[in-house]
Structure 1
Amino acid sequence: MRKILESTFVSLDGVISNPQDYSPTYWDDEHFGYSASLMEGADAQLLGRVTYEGFADAWSQRTGEMADHFNNMKKYVASRTLTETTWNAELLQGDAVEAVRRLKESEGGNLIKFGTGEFSKALLDAKLVDEYHFWIFPVIAGSGDRLFDGLPMTHLDLLGTTTFKSGIVVHKLAPKA
């Protein structure tokens, strides 16, 4: 069975929206190394529509070893509004949670989920995510969408932490059994 790993950028005050406004300042070799290690065992990405559109716009313009790997990796997109995709992606058909459940049960490497929003909340509620990698940036965003607003209390086990010189701390967590 495949594992689902979620990788999410979050500010100190829990804001998940618009990480492109603050995160590039902190990107360095440690950041890219951790990102690359997350993708090593993955052979596909799970994306919501907003993340898919933003990534397709940004990543399709990039070149280099990491960009080539990222661009060539299969992508599965959850959307109620898109009717077609490009950038090596296909739309999840029918109920997105059930489609992900079938993907998880299929043969292959890990599925890496980027971005956080309605799709992530649905996967958390269905208990489909195996690991969370919350990248906590040393910044206070002040306003924006909060991490998992509206969900019931959910306990997680800390699997480890990674601290970067830039001040980013990644918490690796798994749902309690």
Structure 2
Amino acid sequence: MRKLIESTFVSLDGVIDDTRPSTASRAEPQHWGRPYWDEDHAGYSAKLMESADALLLGRVTYEGFKEAWSAQSGPHADHINNMPKYVASRTLTETSWNATLIQGDVAEEVAKLKEQPGKNILKWGTGELDRVLVEHGLVDEFHFWYFPAIVGAGKHLFEGAGFDTTHLKLADINRFASGIVVHVYVPK
């Protein structure tokens, strides 16, 4: 069975993104995270991407990634652009960029994706989709990238997710010279 791996950037004060509509654009990870994107960051990201052959994305991450990656080229960008993408959204009616809109029950469809042969399924970002994934025990690994930045405003990790307490086990820690520390957790 394929693993579903979630990878999320988190500031030290728990911010993962700006609020929508934006009230704190400084809270967008591309603003506070960029100073720390170095060879360690790129190498770890590439390792995660190489371990996967599909992406699972919520609407917000899908739209942001599509805008950021579809115009780029090179080995890493080509890999991302060519990967099949599965998008969970209640508002989109169609997709492009090698993406398929998940129809029907999201938990059932993600469970079916995990049963298919292949490499891992990688999910970038934490948002509304996580409520369903965590409630149904579908995430096999969480990679929380803690950045040495205090943002002060924005959406916090699992804010408003509405699921019960979920206990995890620390499986690994990766430290980068930039100050990023990636905590890898698995279900307990």
- TM-score, with normalisation over the residues of structure 1? 0.96
Match of 2:179 among 159, 164, 167: 167
Match of 2:156, SS state, is: coil
Give distance in 1, aligned partners of 2:147 and 2:164: 24
Whole-Å separation in 2 of the counterparts to 1:93 and 1:107: 20
Deviations along 1:52-92, one digit per CA (max 9) or x if unpaired, are 00000000111111111111111000001111111110101
- Paired residue secondary structure (2:163): coil
2:170 matched residue in structure 1: 158
Structure 2: where are the runs of 5+ without partners? 18-27
Gaps in structure 1 of 5+ consecutive residues = none
SS at structure 2 position matched to 1:113 = strand
Name the CA distance, whole Å, in 2 between partners of 1:117 and 1:53.
13
SS in 2 for 1:44: strand
Alignment correspondent of 1:27? 37
Residue by residue, what CA displacement relative to the aligned partner does 1:2-22 show, whole Å, maximum 9, x if unpaired? Answer: 100000001101111121221
User: Helix, strand or coil for the counterpart of 1:16?
Assistant: strand
Q: Give the match's secondary structure for 2:45.
A: helix
Q: Distance in 2 between matches of 1:145 and 1:151?
A: 17
Task: Measure the CA separation in 1 of the matches of 2:40 and 2:158.
Answer: 27
Indicate which of 141, 147, 150 corresponds to 2:151. 141
Deviation at 1:146, TM superposition (A): 1.2
Structure 1 position 152, deviation (Å): 2.3
Shift in Å at residue 151 of structure 1?
3.3
Aligned residue number for residue 96 of structure 1: 106
The residue that corresponds to 2:51 in the other structure is 41
Aligned residues: 176
Q: 1:121 aligns with which of 131, 136, 142?
A: 131
Q: Within 2, Cα distance between the matches of 1:24 and 1:120?
A: 25
1:16-44, Cα deviation, whole Å (9 max, x unpaired): 11212211111111101000111122110
Deviation at residue 126 of structure 1 after TM alignment? 0.9
RMSD: 1.0
Q: Which range is displaced more, 12-21 or 30-39?
A: 12-21
- Matched residues in 1 for 2:180 and 2:163: separation? 25
Match of 1:85 in 2: 95
